[in-house]
């Protein structure tokens, strides 16, 4: 048995109880899990200070000396403060214990030389270390101390004695016990990329002698982690291409041309034309298309998707568009019906609320081919839904649908249909390469003519009176206004109360106008009714939570006020801002926050005020928050469980991993060459682990 898959309870110092704690709190079950539980920071232990050099502002430091005496100070019933007076010959420092003083008095001997490590503070004009680490100086070789690793642990673990120092000791035991570990990358690749060997990297990352060695070890481990993800994605994409022939759409016919000449509401932008050309090449090539279409809110993605579906209809196939929510599906249906006015095409809706006779009619129409376009939610992938000839599928807001769900669609016809995935959440290139590595990427980076960029300003909540005056002015000019309250799951109750109270305050502030109110906890019927009032212009102000983030299109609404904007992520703020600026009028987005803000929040707000470019915003969001928190990746299980790499900060390594993996897959697409045997073996091992590979590819 491979030593790294050995149960962690057999490691000296662990046992059944600690094993349970490590497993529950950190997911550490085996020797390998502990070895791959990497430190989050390091403290330089190579320098020893003299006590007289220390100040209260210094970080963690170490001094060598001996204890002169102990003193005990009572602190109420059964509690005491224990102080050891400690010297190195240059000055005296105090070592203080508020807990565990009794243990300190029994363990540490007067006159014995100790290495003391801790954070110096000043108390009673003397340097003081509270709860320091003490090691017997005679047993240490100070010249090999290097950098000390620090490990994240939970409160529960600290209470039971499993703090960072304890994890460090367990890791040390493990590293000393391990035989040389086998390599997981081919020798030629290690040489080509100037990488440290795996065995050395895994030992060095826990116990580095200096920052240079640490950096080399981290690069090796990060590269390997990202390389195998890329190798897996590219292998998967290559398999799909070899396995599945795509339907060939050889003509652009009457339906497309009739729409283009008679129904097109406005001229296409150059970006839209470019994307349609890319799609036409794909669907005519004989291989199945898998393409990601990125574009900001309002850039005209739906029109491009519709025109692509018309090409499928011209070639005798049906098309389908899947949306993540019923509200969004209904909105797509309304938009498509409006675009296709007067054309002899049958479009149907299939969501959870389409039931009984109406549902049967839709299912029949799909099976006999009389329905040309189906709009729906994931109700579309249920087994009962069968098509006559499904040739083209559009998936809106991909992050709500995993690869497994996409694969279900393929089983709906003899060959898999062409797939176009749309997202209004611009995804930075490094993240797109990892999340959607099996998709080709198209970008609409132009807004339709006549659209003015939204002006974004930041207002402190002490200036609400002048903000209300500005809102009044806009409404008098005939515009409508969104006012958004945060609704975050952890504080849902109090957030809903804030919304209710806020709604009453706003009613009093604007007695001359009519207001609607919408939040996710309302019944769908009531929500729809309130939304419709706003869409029809019967109410001037819509007070809402983020339910309006996707899928409400009111060209007359020109002001978006976001209250407590500091509680939203950048992507969310950008999505909300995209609800305005849909007409020809100048639109405004006002971010309201308290005066006191953290450094990160201030950066977020500044970025929003500086740019309307969704890609710049997404890059910034990735750097500030990391990939796990990006809107939509968290809730869909796509926050990869990366152990050491960081997609936000390791963009160059993602690129390098991709460039290294690509030629290997091209040279050995069936994964059988001896030259790469080590890679395919390792990939098999990794696929057995708990990484959610389906979410990644």
Predicted confidence (pLDDT) at residue 666 exceeds the cutoff of 60: yes
Q: How far apart are CA 437 and CA 292, in angstroms?
A: 10
Structure tokens given for 641: 């469980």
- What percent of the chain has pLDDT above 70? 91
Structure tokens given for 194: 């100037």
**Model pLDDT, residue 405:** 67
Q: What does the DSSP assignment read for 629-660?
A: GSTTTGGGT-S---SS--TTT-HHHHHHHHHH
- Among 112-121, 158-167, 423-432, the minimum mean pLDDT is found in 423-432
- Dihedral in degrees, nearest 10, Cα atoms 558, 564, 566, 571: -40
Look at residue 515 and give its three-state secondary structure. Answer: strand
DSSP state of 26: H
- Among 76-90, 143-157, 207-221, the minimum mean pLDDT is found in 143-157
- Beta strand 80-87 with 61-74 is antiparallel
pLDDT averaged over the chain?
Answer: 86
Look at residue 669 and give its three-state secondary structure. Answer: coil
**Model pLDDT, residue 191:** 96
**Model pLDDT, residue 638:** 37
**Model pLDDT, residue 309:** 97
DSSP state of 266: S
**Model pLDDT, residue 477:** 92
**Model pLDDT, residue 331:** 82
- Dihedral in degrees, nearest 10, Cα atoms 638, 644, 648, 649: -170
DSSP H/E element including 329: helix 326-339
DSSP state of 450: T
**Model pLDDT, residue 551:** 54
Q: What is the 3-state secondary structure (H, E, C) of 112-177?
A: CEEEEEECEEEECCEEEEECCEEEEHHHCCHHHCCEEEECCCCHHHHHCCCCHHHHHHHHHHHHHH
> Of 674, 693, 457, whose CA–CA distance to 573 is shortest?
457
pLDDT, mean of residues 643-657:
83
> Of 540, 621, 533, whose CA–CA distance to 574 is shortest?
621
> Of 539, 585, 538, 532, whose CA–CA distance to 558 is shortest?
585
Q: What does the DSSP assignment read for 359-395?
A: HHHHHHHHHTT---EEEESGGGGSTT---SSEEEEEE
pLDDT, mean of residues 333-354:
93
pLDDT, mean of residues 34-57:
90
Radius of gyration of the chain (CA): 31
Helices 164-177, 198-206: crossing angle, 10 deg rounding: 150
Q: How far apart are CA 120 and CA 244, in angstroms?
A: 66
**Model pLDDT, residue 398:** 54
Give how far Cα 146 sits from Cα of 40, 141, 204, 207, 651, Å.
Answer: 16, 10, 11, 7, 29
Predicted confidence (pLDDT) at residue 427 exceeds the cutoff of 80: no
Residues 6+ apart with CB under 8 A from 39: 149, 150, 151, 205, 206
How far does CA 145 lie from the centroid of its chain?
37
Encode burial over 363-394: b for 16+ CB neighbours within 10 A, e otherwise: bebbeeeebbbbbbbbbbbeeebebebbbbbb
Query: Is residue 151 within 8 Å of 169, Cβ to Cβ?
Result: no
Structure tokens given for 369: 């081919």
Helical segments of 542-650, H only = 570-577, 599-610, 614-625
**Model pLDDT, residue 637:** 32
Q: How far apart are CA 651 and CA 226, in angstroms?
A: 10
- The confidence band for 210, taking pLDDT boundaries of 50, 70 and 90, is confident
Structure tokens given for 186: 């081919």
Query: Is residue 402 within 8 Å of 637, Cβ to Cβ?
Result: yes
Q: How far apart are CA 667 and CA 98, in angstroms?
A: 65
- The confidence band for 407, taking pLDDT boundaries of 50, 70 and 90, is low
- CB-count exposure of residue 173 (10 Å: 0-12, 13-18, 19+): middle
- The confidence band for 325, taking pLDDT boundaries of 50, 70 and 90, is confident
Predicted confidence (pLDDT) at residue 306 exceeds the cutoff of 60: yes
pLDDT tens for 227-240 read 998 998 888 888 87
pLDDT, mean of residues 380-398:
87
**Model pLDDT, residue 550:** 52
pLDDT, mean of residues 204-222:
93
Q: How far apart are CA 487 and CA 468, in angstroms?
A: 22
Query: Is residue 389 within 8 Å of 318, Cβ to Cβ?
Result: yes
- The confidence band for 690, taking pLDDT boundaries of 50, 70 and 90, is very low
Q: How far apart are CA 563 and CA 502, in angstroms?
A: 10
**Model pLDDT, residue 688:** 66
Which span out of 137-141, 314-318, 536-540 was modeled with the highest average pLDDT?
314-318
Residues 6+ apart with CB under 8 A from 448: 266, 269, 298, 299, 300
pLDDT tens for 69-122 read 999 998 888 889 999 999 999 999 999 999 888 889 999 999 999 999 999 999
Look at residue 82 and give its three-state secondary structure. Answer: strand
**Model pLDDT, residue 640:** 53
- Among 152-161, 176-185, 233-242, the minimum mean pLDDT is found in 233-242
Query: Is residue 67 within 8 Å of 110, Cβ to Cβ?
Result: yes
């Amino acid at each position: 048995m491979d030593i790294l898959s050995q149960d962690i309870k057999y490691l000296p110092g662990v046992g059944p109880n600690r094993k349970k704690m490590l497993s529950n709190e950190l997911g550490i079950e085996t020797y390998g899990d502990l070895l791959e539980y990497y430190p989050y920071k390091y403290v330089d232990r190579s320098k020893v200070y003299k006590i007289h050099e220390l100040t209260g502002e210094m970080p963690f430091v170490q001094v060598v000396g001996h204890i002169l005496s102990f003193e005990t100070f009572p602190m109420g019933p059964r509690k005491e403060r224990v102080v050891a007076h400690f010297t190195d010959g240059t000055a005296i420092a105090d070592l203080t214990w508020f807990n565990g003083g009794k243990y300190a008095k029994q363990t540490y001997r007067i006159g014995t030389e100790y290495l003391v490590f801790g954070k110096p503070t000043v108390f009673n004009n003397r340097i003081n270390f509270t709860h320091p680490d003490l090691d017997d100086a005679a047993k240490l070789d100070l010249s090999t101390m290097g950098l000390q690793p620090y490990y994240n642990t939970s409160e529960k673990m600290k209470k039971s004695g499993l703090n960072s120092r304890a994890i460090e000791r367990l890791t040390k035991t493990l590293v000393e016990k391990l035989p040389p570990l086998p390599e997981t990358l081919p020798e030629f690749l290690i040489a080509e990329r100037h990488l440290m060997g795996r065995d050395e990297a895994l030992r060095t990352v826990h116990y580095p002698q200096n920052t240079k060695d640490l950096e080399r070890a981290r690069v090796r481990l990060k590269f390997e982690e990202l390389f195998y993800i890329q190798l897996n994605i590219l292998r998967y994409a290559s398999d799909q291409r070899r396995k599945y022939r795509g339907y060939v759409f050889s003509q652009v016919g009457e339906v497309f041309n009739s729409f283009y000449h008679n129904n097109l509401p406005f001229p296409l932008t150059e970006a839209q034309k470019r994307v349609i050309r890319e799609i036409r090449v794909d669907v005519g090539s004989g291989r199945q298309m898998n393409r990601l279409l990125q574009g900001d809110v309002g850039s005209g993605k739906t029109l491009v998707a519709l025109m692509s579906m018309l090409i499928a209809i011209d070639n005798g196939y049906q098309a389908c568009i899947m949306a993540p929510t019923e509200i969004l599906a209904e909105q797509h249906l309304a938009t498509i019906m409006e675009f296709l006015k007067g054309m002899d095409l049958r479009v149907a809706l299939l969501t959870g609320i389409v039931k009984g006779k109406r549902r049967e009619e839709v299912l029949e129409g799909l099976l006999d081919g009389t329905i040309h376009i189906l709009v729906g939610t994931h109700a579309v992938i249920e087994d009962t839904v069968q098509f006559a000839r499904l040739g083209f599928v559009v998936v809106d807001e991909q992050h709500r649908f995993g690869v497994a769900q996409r694969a279900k669609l393929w089983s709906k016809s003899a060959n898999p249909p062409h797939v176009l995935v749309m997202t209004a959440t611009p995804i930075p290139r490094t993240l797109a390469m990892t999340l959607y590595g099996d998709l080709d990427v198209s970008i609409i980076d132009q807004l339709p003519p006549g659209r003015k960029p939204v002006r974004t300003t930041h207002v402190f909540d002490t200036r609400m009176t002048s903000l209300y005056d500005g809102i009044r002015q806009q409404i008098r000019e005939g515009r409508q206004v969104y006012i958004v309250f945060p609704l975050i799951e952890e504080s849902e109750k109090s957030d809903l109360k804030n919304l209710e109270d806020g709604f009453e305050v706003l009613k009093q502030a604007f007695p001359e106008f009519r207001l609607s109110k919408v939040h996710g906890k309302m019944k769908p019927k009531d929500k729809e009714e309130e939304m419709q009032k706003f869409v029809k212009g019967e109410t001037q102000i819509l007070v809402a939570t983020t339910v309006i983030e996707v899928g409400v299109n009111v060209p007359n609404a020109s002001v978006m006020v976001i209250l407590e904007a500091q509680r939203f992520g950048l992507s969310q703020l950008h999505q909300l801002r995209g609800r305005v600026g849909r007409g020809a009028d100048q639109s405004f987005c006002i971010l309201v926050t308290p005066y006191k803000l953290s450094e990160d929040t201030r950066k977020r707000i500044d970025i929003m005020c500086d740019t309307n470019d969704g890609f710049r915003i997404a890059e910034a969001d990735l750097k500030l928050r990391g990939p796990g928190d990006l809107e939509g990746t968290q809730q869909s299980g796509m926050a990869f469980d990366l152990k050491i790499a960081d997609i936000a900060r390791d963009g160059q390594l993602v690129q390098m991993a991709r460039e290294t993996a690509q030629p290997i897959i091209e040279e050995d697409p069936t994964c059988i060459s001896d030259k790469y045997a080590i890679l395919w073996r390792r990939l098999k091992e990794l696929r057995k682990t708990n990484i959610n590979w389906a979410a990644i590819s």
